[in-house]
Amino acid sequence: MIWNFRPLAGCLACVCLCASAAADETPLTPEEMTGASRVDGLSIPMPGEFMAALNKLGKIDWSAKFRLPIGTSYTSRPQMALNLGGLIADGYIAIEAQDAPQVKNIGRDVITLATALGVGEEVKRRSSSIEAFAEKGEWDQLKEELEATQNEVKEAMAEAKDQDLVTLVTVGGWLRGVEVTSGQIAAHYTELGGKLLRQPGVIAFLDQHLERLSDKDKDDGSVRIVRKKLADIEKLLILPPDKAPTAAQVKELNQLTTETLKEITKKQK
């Protein structure tokens, strides 16, 4: 909790006239908490945030977290969206690993899936800068570019009234993020690491949005698998604030997410 904010204070001093915020110290009512806004663009953490927290636990060999290339020729749009989300999460992993060729390979797969979903232009517009940042090893800028690309893809989907796809991209990315982080924490278990996995608000948000999918999308094979597995994952991630999942629970979580991702990358019959 003790940070060194002197440089920051200096920056702010240049722009501020006074520096005391009038924070409200009255607790929120249950109604206020229930009625709080929940928006994809701010309420769901980006993979980069999760990875920043995970990096503080110790040095991580991110290149060991790569997975074999997944297919990109699905016929079902919900399945494409789920895998697009997973691929974007793979992009964050490649950036953490500072592996330029891997970033480019994933970028190509992202373009293929995004194009099939009708939002390829948004990705193509950014692909040259993504490649340039990767070649120059400008990893922080690359992370920002990937985050912006992800948001543009979602905005384009929302604009095309494809809110279901936005939800599925978010779910796919979140699943891949949890798979990687739970794998890392399971292999080097500490209670502090386990606590990072506690995400009741995210689970509730994803549940609500999956529930709002159209009947047609809910009936898609890959979506059925995700909804079923999410119910099991939920049991492991909803814990009291001061309680960490046990090492066995983290392993179980890792197995569940790995199985789910394997299922959704299989071509549907």
Partner 1 sequence: MKRLLLPLLCAFLASTTVHAATDGEVAARRTALDIAGAFTNDGFKLRDGHWSGSFEPGKSAIIQVNLYAGNQYWFTLGATGPAKKVAISIYDETGKPVKIDGEHSFQDTSVAAAGFSPDNSGVFFVKVAVVDGAAANFCLVYSYK
Contact between 1 and partner 1 by CB under 8 A: the answer reads yes
Contact between 248 and partner 1 by CB under 8 A: the answer reads no
User: Under rule CB under 8 A, which residues in 42-81 are in contact with partner 1?
Assistant: 42-46, 48-50, 52-53, 56-57
CA 202 to chain CA centroid, nearest Å: 10
- Residue by residue, DSSP assigns 48-110 as HHHHHHHHTTS---GGGG--PPPP---S-HHHHHHHHHHHHHHHHHHHHTT-HHHHHHHHHHH
Q: How far apart are CA 170 and CA 6, in angstroms?
A: 37
Contact between 22 and partner 1 by CB under 8 A: the answer reads yes
What's the closest the beta carbon of residue 93 comes to partner 1, in angstroms? 17
Contact between 27 and partner 1 by CB under 8 A: the answer reads yes
Contact between 161 and partner 1 by CB under 8 A: the answer reads no
Contact between 17 and partner 1 by CB under 8 A: the answer reads yes
What's the closest the beta carbon of residue 217 comes to partner 1, in angstroms? 23
- Contact between 211 and 120 (Cβ < 8 Å): no
Contact between 98 and partner 1 by CB under 8 A: the answer reads no
Contact between 24 and partner 1 by CB under 8 A: the answer reads yes
Q: Which residue has the tokens 């996995």?
A: 197
Nearer to partner 1, 24 or 215 (CB): 24
- Contact between 89 and 60 (Cβ < 8 Å): no
The SS3 of residue 205 is: helix
Q: How far apart are CA 233 and CA 169, in angstroms?
A: 18
Q: Give residues in contact with partner 1 (CB under 8 A).
A: 1, 3, 5, 7-9, 11-12, 15-30, 32-33, 35-46, 48-50, 52-53, 56-57, 140, 143-144, 147-148, 151-152, 155, 159, 192, 195-202, 241-242
